[in-house]
Structure formats: structure tokens, C-alpha cells
Amino acid sequence: MKFILRTSHLMKSIHGKEVVSNVSINVKKGEIYGFLGPNGSGKTTIMKMISNRMNPTSGEIKLFGKILKIDSFELMERIGSSIEYPIFNEELKAKENLELHCGFMVYHDENAIKESLKLVNLQGIDDKAVKDLSPEMKQRLSIARAISTKPEFINFR
């Protein structure tokens, strides 16, 4: 069995308060895994640790069989992520924001951008400035950004 994600005894404390305690997850390639729990139960914190936006206090995260470290840039290139509120350059057009992201991720495929916009039902808005999009459209654009580089692992909230 090939695991794409494994966490072992993951723990996170913030300001002396334990917000994630002893979380071990095993997700095989191709599986869909979800978190359920009340507000404040640590779901977003776990997702931020998996996407390397926050370091665990203790425990281990393995992505694609490799231990996630602060400088694991090659692993981050293989992940698409959309956690919490999407941030874009509001003055740029939707398509320009996706092009910027793809450039940052060193992934250049014009068709992938078109496909991702179509998949989230935003075709035809690629020339519209992000500041003119509704909050719901920005959420969908965030999903398009996360999938535009054809990642092997997707982390959504």
C-alpha cells in the first residue's frame, strides 16, 4: 500500500494551549479523507501543518514517503492547497492570478489554467479583475488555483 500522507503522533501547542493532540493519519494514494469536528477542534491547524504553513510542536508528517521539513520545497510543488480565506492580487485579472501562481510553482501549461477555470465553472471570467468577483467566485478561483498545477495531493478547507 502506498501512502501519500502519513502523520504520526502529531501535536501542536499555541500559546501554551494544546490544540492538536496525538493525531495519526494514513491516507493512501487516490483516497479522499475528511476532517469532522466542532469549531476549535484543530482541523484547520492540522491542514496548515500538512501544507507546511505551520510547524508541529511534535510528531511527524510524511508526504509521498518523505518527512516534511521547513525546507521541503520539492514536496510543496506536488501539493495544491486552499485553506481558509483565499488571497489574490485584487488588481490582477483572474487568469493573471492563476498564471502568477503557476509561474511560482514552476508549472507552465495554458490549457491547465483553462481546464481548472472550467472545472469550477468560472470560464469566461479570466479577464475580470479579482476585485470585481463575488466572495463565492473567489472561493472557486482559489480551488482553480489549487488544481491548476495538477498536484498529486490536494488540501482543501
pLDDT (tens digit, 0 to 9) for every residue of the chain, 157 residues total? 599 999 999 999 999 999 999 999 999 998 999 989 999 899 999 999 999 999 999 999 999 999 999 999 889 889 998 888 889 999 999 999 999 999 888 888 889 999 999 999 998 887 889 999 999 999 999 999 999 999 999 988 7
Distance CA 35, CA 152 (A): 19
Domain boundary among 50, 76, 102: 76
Residue 32 domain flag = yes
Could you tell me the CATH number of the domain that includes residue 65? 3.40.50.300
Specify whether 60 is located in the same domain as 123.
no
Specify whether 50 is located in the same domain as 106.
no
Specify whether 111 is located in the same domain as 51.
no
Distance CA 55, CA 120 (A): 31
**What contacts 109, CB < 8 A, 6 or more positions away?**
102, 150
- Full DSSP string of 126-138: TTSBGGGS-HHHH
pTM to 2 decimals? 0.83
| 3-class SS of residue 94 | helix
Specify whether 110 is located in the same domain as 70.
no
Residue 87 domain flag = no
Specify whether 100 is located in the same domain as 37.
no
Distance CA 44, CA 81 (A): 12
Domain boundary among 26, 49, 76: 76
Specify whether 114 is located in the same domain as 148.
yes
Residue 17: CA count within 13 A, CB half-sphere: 6
Q: Give the three cell numbers for residue 141.
A: 478561483
In which residue are the cell numbers 481558509 written? 84
Buried b (16+ CB within 10 A) or exposed e, 116-127: bbeebebeebbe
Residue 44 domain flag = yes
Provide the sign of the torsion angle of the four alpha carbons 119, 105, 11, 23, taken in this order: positive
The domain total for the chain is: 2
Specify whether 43 is located in the same domain as 72.
yes
Residue 52 domain flag = yes
Residue in 68, 150, 143, 144 with CA at minimum distance from that of residue 105: 150
Distance CA 100, CA 106 (A): 10
Residue 17 domain flag = yes
Residue 129 structural domain? 94-156
Specify whether 52 is located in the same domain as 11.
yes
